[in-house]
Structure 1
Amino acid sequence: MPRFTHADENGSFGRYGGAFLPPHLEAPIAEVATAYREAMADPAFMDEYRELLREYVGRPSPLYLARRFSERLGGAKVYLKREDLNHTGSHKINHCLGEGLLAKRMGKTRLIAETGAGQHGVALATAAALLGLECEIHMGGIDVEKQHMNVVRMEMLGAKVVAVETGGRCLKDAVDSAFATYAADYEDVFFGIGSVVGPHPYPSMVRDFQSVVGAEAREQIMAKEGRLPDVVMACVGGGSNAMGLFSGFLEDEQVRVIGVEPAGEGLSGDRHAATMTKGVDGTLHGMSTVVLQEEDGEPSPVHSIASGLDYPGVGPQHAWLRDVGRAEYVSVTDEETLEAFSLLCRTEGIIPALESSHALAHAMKIAPEMSPEQVIVVNLSGRGDKDVDYIAEVMGSR
């Protein structure tokens, strides 16, 4: 078995992962685990999934050399894995189609999920419309306001959008709300978790559906450069886009693997979501992982300019990769993120998502320290259409 890629039979990555569930949900989640294992071993299921990725999503996504961006920085060449060019505008469609197909295979009629920036919600609503399923998306009230365009898109696709006004009104609260609704009525429902988080099998399942990103990037960089990259990099909230890219390179220990978290308004205060930098071991949303939490054990309020990253936990495989030294985790501030957003817009004519701009911001720090022969691959996980009104408001206020 590959050293860094898979969980054990209990869904654990070292001391992280597993399934911590109320007793009445143990059987339904175990049913998902069984269906997932059987589907991944079924050539007919995988053929249908791959055909949708090719004919519907538009894969493979390009691996693009950002020449002017690289020249502006000096040093290493920066390649962008263009997940923003997928149908629906981000990497999220990769696992949402897989989850939708699995739900149909299990005889479920309704998809339910959380969303932060709205990209997972849009992708799951898209999969539901395509496959003839009902869809309900829970979204924090703050994010409903910030990401109004994605709310409209979800509703146009036939989804019911539930605005969550409890707690911090952000992604963590949306997960709480969606999970509570699922726990009360799970017979005909499939919970389409939006990242590599939650109880087993979700961290492995979402990673496996996202692994197409890393597999393509590996093949593409070998074709373009004749060798592996020096660094692969992606933003990390829950961590699905990062795990998708990383999975193609984890066994190549000469490749540096870097996850970039939101430092928000600075790590000295509490207005950030830098879980791997400031968190401690804990249990959240059915998994053992690293959590930003209060003294009483409750998850801390978090902040990021990017709605898709304001989560107080992280996928358990990320926590394990940090512990065994295979991956590095760093953080960048809101200000650095906005600077990276603007630079890519003006040098490449690409408007990136604020989530993806976190990874770009760290690339801006390390590329000048590297030689022109060296290569960085950044996962451009989503496009920034959803963010333009909010960014215009923020930049205008400054």
Structure 2
Amino acid sequence: MEPNSQRSYLQSYPNAEGYFGRFGGNHYPPELRPALEELASSYQELHQTPEFQDALNKARVGLQGRPTPIHYLENLSNQVGGAQIFIKREDLNHTGAHKINHCVGFALLAKKMGKKKLIAETGAGQHGVALATAAAYFGLECEVHMGEVDVAKQSSNVGRMQLLGARVISATTGQSALKEASDSAFNAYVEQHEHALYAIGSAIGPHPFPMIVRDFQAVVGREAREQFRSITNGSMPDHVVACVAGGSNAMGMYSGFIEDPGVVLHAVEPLGISDELGQHAATLSYGSPGTLHGARSVMLQKDDGMPARVSSVASGLAYPGVGPEIAMLHETGRLSIAAISDEEAISTFFRMTKSEGIIPALESAHALAFAIQLASQRPSSERILVNLSGRGDKDVDFVLEKYGTGTSPALS
């Protein structure tokens, strides 16, 4: 990973064919190539124009509520000892997560391209809610595909999408989870691409989707870098931590620090129930190169090359692959990886709630759990910045039903 010295990292990757090193590209059906080429061309032509940026910034401020702040977790840091823990409050975005960062971008892009509809997949429902919100704001139709299991688990988010005018389609094949929702949404896009735009939910899929999602999410890293330096008198964080499945929240945060070799970037994966295949979704830890949803990347796969079953208490992390850019950063050694179990994530969910008054999304609880472990091993002079990618309102009913209020010593 050696970008041209005269170009920034974000300008250097991906290359013209959509590759991040040996990962990425466009492995979509040939009949969709023209639609993807149209998307790439329109994005390059429009996204840096003053008109587009003005409309995007208007939505960022007025609809989303940006900028989101950085907050020092003083109570947790004092409890743990060692390094100090800070969080980037993406949970304070309108709709409750980072997902709206790229959803408003895709909606604006669709509007400028003359498309009438947005299509997408969702896992925990945060992307679906964000896309339905952006579609309503820009006057577009919206169709969200969601695994049947997640429809039941995240019923409040299903209701929110429907209130916002979206049509929610339940994916009932396979595990009926995020991978199947993605399959269903991709198929819908194949049929409707002439009048609809696929607003992918993470930094995955064929070129130009990983690039577009990263660029729209880069607002997180830009803000975080400036804010952190402001509150620490010009210092940089020693560690930047994000949970990883597809990679949208991670690439958004990493983008602000990726060219700083002194900042260690940590990718935290879901270890689920165990390290046995089918019992986790820790792709970087246990996966191998393969092709999934139109891109060459790293994936969890069975002996026949088909995607393996996955498991995670966090619906948004239950995906058998990672984005191609994440795969490249891991292969080149720029990312340090860790895996957090369901039990550790749930314990941290309760600890964060009771110690800091912040209810984190179960996805974000994985990143926080690792940050706490890391802080206990590092000196007090070091600082850890975590992307708190979403709030846990969507998870409250599930957690209360399965784990109670966290008063058990094992979960507190």
Report Cα offsets for 1:118-160 as digits up to 9, x if no partner.
0000000000001110000000001001100000000000000
Is 2:301 aligned against 1:293? yes
Distance (Å, rounded) in 1 between the aligned partners of 2:96 and 2:363: 13
Question: Does the CA-based 8 Å contact 2:25-2:296 persist in structure 1?
Answer: yes
Report Cα offsets for 1:44-73 as digits up to 9, x if no partner.
101210121012211110100010011111
Question: Does the CA-based 8 Å contact 2:312-2:318 persist in structure 1?
Answer: yes
Q: Which residue of 1 aligns with 2:242?
A: 234
Question: CA shift at 1:270, angstroms?
Answer: 2.5
SS at match of 2:121: strand
Structure 2 matches for 1:64-83, cutoff 5 A? 64-83=71-90
Distance (Å, rounded) in 2 between the aligned partners of 1:186 and 1:363: 42
Question: CA shift at 1:314, angstroms?
Answer: 0.4
Is 2:189 aligned against 1:182? yes
Is 2:18 aligned against 1:20? no
Structure 2 matches for 1:1-398, cutoff 5 A? 1-3=7-9, 6-226=13-233, 227-396=235-404
SS at match of 1:103: helix
Question: CA shift at 1:23, angstroms?
Answer: 1.1
Question: CA shift at 1:266, angstroms?
Answer: 1.3
Tell me the amino acid that sits aligned with residue 74 of structure 1: G
Question: Does the CA-based 8 Å contact 2:277-2:310 persist in structure 1?
Answer: no
Question: CA shift at 1:185, angstroms?
Answer: 2.1
Distance (Å, rounded) in 1 between the aligned partners of 2:231 and 2:174: 48
Distance (Å, rounded) in 2 between the aligned partners of 1:119 and 1:269: 27
Gaps of 5+ in 1: none
SS at match of 1:104: helix
Once structures 1 and 2 are overlaid, which stretch shifts more, 176-185 or 227-236? 176-185
Identity fraction in percent: 52
Question: CA shift at 1:269, angstroms?
Answer: 4.6
Tell me the amino acid that sits aligned with residue 392 of structure 2: G
SS at match of 1:258: strand
Question: Does the CA-based 8 Å contact 2:145-2:168 persist in structure 1?
Answer: yes
Distance (Å, rounded) in 2 between the aligned partners of 1:351 and 1:54: 24
Distance (Å, rounded) in 2 between the aligned partners of 1:108 and 1:184: 14
Distance (Å, rounded) in 2 between the aligned partners of 1:237 and 1:134: 27
Tell me the amino acid that sits aligned with residue 395 of structure 2: D
Question: CA shift at 1:200, angstroms?
Answer: 0.4
SS at match of 1:199: coil
Question: CA shift at 1:3, angstroms?
Answer: 4.1
SS at match of 1:168: coil
CA RMSD of aligned residues (A): 1.2
Question: Does the CA-based 8 Å contact 2:277-2:309 persist in structure 1?
Answer: no
Question: Does the CA-based 8 Å contact 2:297-2:323 persist in structure 1?
Answer: yes
Question: Does the CA-based 8 Å contact 2:271-2:339 persist in structure 1?
Answer: yes
SS at match of 2:302: coil
Distance (Å, rounded) in 1 between the aligned partners of 2:404 and 2:394: 17
Question: CA shift at 1:371, angstroms?
Answer: 1.4
Distance (Å, rounded) in 1 between the aligned partners of 2:277 and 2:181: 24
SS at match of 2:108: helix
TM-score with structure 1 length normalisation? 0.98
Question: Does the CA-based 8 Å contact 2:302-2:308 persist in structure 1?
Answer: yes
Q: Which residue of 1 aligns with 2:4?
A: none
Distance (Å, rounded) in 1 between the aligned partners of 2:9 and 2:159: 43
Question: CA shift at 1:42, angstroms?
Answer: 1.1
Report Cα offsets for 1:71-96 as digits up to 9, x if no partner.
11111111010000010000011000
Aligned length: 398
Distance (Å, rounded) in 2 between the aligned partners of 1:307 and 1:268: 19
Report Cα offsets for 1:177-212 as digits up to 9, x if no partner.
011111122110100001000000110100000000
Q: Which residue of 1 aligns with 2:3?
A: none
Question: CA shift at 1:2, angstroms?
Answer: 2.4
Tell me the amino acid that sits aligned with residue 396 of structure 2: V
Which stretches of structure 1, 4 residues or longer, exceed 4 Å deviation after superposition? none
